[in-house]
Amino acid sequence: MEVTDIRVILAPAISLLCAALVFVAGSNKHWRRFWMLSAATLKLGVVMSMLPGSLQGTVYTWDMIDFTPGIGLAFRADALGMFFAAVSSTLWVITTIYAIGYMTGDEHRVRFFGFFALCVSTTVGLAFAENLLTFFLFYEMLTICTYPLVIHDETPDALKAGRKYLTYTLIGGAFIMVGSVIVYDATGTLSLGHPGILSAELGTRTLLLIFVSLVGGFAVKAAVMPLHGWLPSAMVAPTPVSALLHAVAVVKAGAFGILRTIYNVFGVDLLEEIGFAVPLMWIAAFTILAASLVAIFQDNIKRRLAFSTISQLSYIVLGAALLTPFAATAAIVHIANQAFAKITMFFVAGAIQRTTGKTNVHELAGIGYRMPWTMGAFTVAALSFIGMPLFAGFITKWYLSLGALESGEYWVLAVMIASAMLNAAYFLPIVYLAFFKAPPGTKLRVAEARPTLLISTLVAAAYVIVLGTTAEVPGMPFSLAQAAVHFVFGM
């Protein structure tokens, strides 16, 4: 059932308004905080108010402008989009609180928070995009809005990273545009509201061209190897930005784009028939393992997390490429699972950096005695990535493995297990160092991060557990993912 509803554009518009207010009247820190927090909660409220309807299968739509008949800005909140929007607006609230605590005393805060809000606005717009054009528009806006955040510190390193980021993503964006144009040329529509708009009659060459340009374009942001180069170097950004880049906005936009391409542009049946997904599957599996191997020897915490992100994102790609309902469920829920666990880790890294000034793994010995709660949160996230049951990551691994078995790709199981092992190999030493390697002879006192940092970290960690334990509870995001899968697979 499709309903025209203003809330679909209200959600991005609130963030947009917030950004405008911050830019215009954000020099006073109290007002700025007020705008940020009220907009974040308000938007979360708006998105959540659509959740019950969405769970019952209602699709909210809103057509804005038609540039020419058939092409225009249009929004449509289906289950998949709702899932993404719910995740990003929840995380926005947490990250805002964290960022307020983190950026205290920093320079250019107006610019920072303004673009911060803009990013979230575009992310939600992207989630609700009804057609490839709208999608593309928000996708590119996202790129541009995150640039000032990446270069926030304006050090030569930051500027260089920003340039690299722009180069990578804008070139990726160009490919997406090319792909969209070919799609429109071939089918006369750009709509994302169907389980597939292409058909096999177009011929393999056209289809291949579309597949490569769309998936290749999105894969840049999804940091699929070898297109991942921008992500580790973008680590120079302030921690809330890294968290946002990694967990919510940018990389997930790429992954979400791949999901949209596979499920809504091509459609599962067509891909099954033409078999393009198989190489993608291999690339994703390679990325999962290779990035993890690289991560093991990274000493900088954020850099290690960055490679972990690269590895984790490919779970989504792998899940999508497996083309089975279980794997699709895994791919979709991993958007949330990875987001919460990774944001927890970044929050922890940031909190440690702000509280003790430490940025490298080897300096963390005994930090668990100083910041037990923070490192507790880190442990939760680490266990989630390893795939311990009761934590969010397990759900992904479980469904992904089931999906792999469903499609008969037994080797994926080996990849899963190897990846879990590698995750253990680069996260558990940190936990061990923190809790059991106190430098001898010193009495360490508890000195936690400031409350705003700590609370948001703990909330994110709590979400990891909640997502891991309540998957089957009706009304949780998991059911949205299942609704999306049902739509995609026509079940």
Q: Which residues contact another protein (rule: CB under 8 A)?
A: 229, 290, 293-294, 296-297, 383, 386-390, 394-395, 397-398, 401-402, 405, 410, 413-414, 417, 420-421, 424-425, 428, 432, 436-437, 468-473
Closest separation between CB of residue 203 and another protein, Å? Answer: 34
Q: Do 484 and 78 meet the contact criterion of CB atoms below 8 Å apart?
A: yes
- CA–CA separation, 59 vs 54, rounded Å? 6
What strands lie across the sheet with 2-4, from one edge to the other? 2-4, 59-68, 71-77
Closest separation between CB of residue 267 and another protein, Å? Answer: 27
Q: Which is nearer to another protein, 19 or 415 (CB)?
A: 415
Q: Which is nearer to another protein, 216 or 257 (CB)?
A: 216
Closest separation between CB of residue 10 and another protein, Å? Answer: 34
Q: Which is nearer to another protein, 294 or 348 (CB)?
A: 294
Q: Which is nearer to another protein, 139 or 373 (CB)?
A: 373
Closest separation between CB of residue 70 and another protein, Å? Answer: 40
- CA–CA separation, 252 vs 254, rounded Å? 5
Q: Which is nearer to another protein, 217 or 387 (CB)?
A: 387
Closest separation between CB of residue 482 and another protein, Å? Answer: 12
What phi and psi values does residue 360 have, to the nearest 5 degrees? -115, 155
Closest separation between CB of residue 433 and another protein, Å? Answer: 11
Q: Which is nearer to another protein, 20 or 289 (CB)?
A: 289
Q: Which is nearer to another protein, 209 or 293 (CB)?
A: 293
Closest separation between CB of residue 387 and another protein, Å? Answer: 7
Closest separation between CB of residue 429 and another protein, Å? Answer: 9
- CA–CA separation, 227 vs 166, rounded Å? 13
Q: Which is nearer to another protein, 196 or 229 (CB)?
A: 229
Which residue is listed with tokens 């999306």? 484
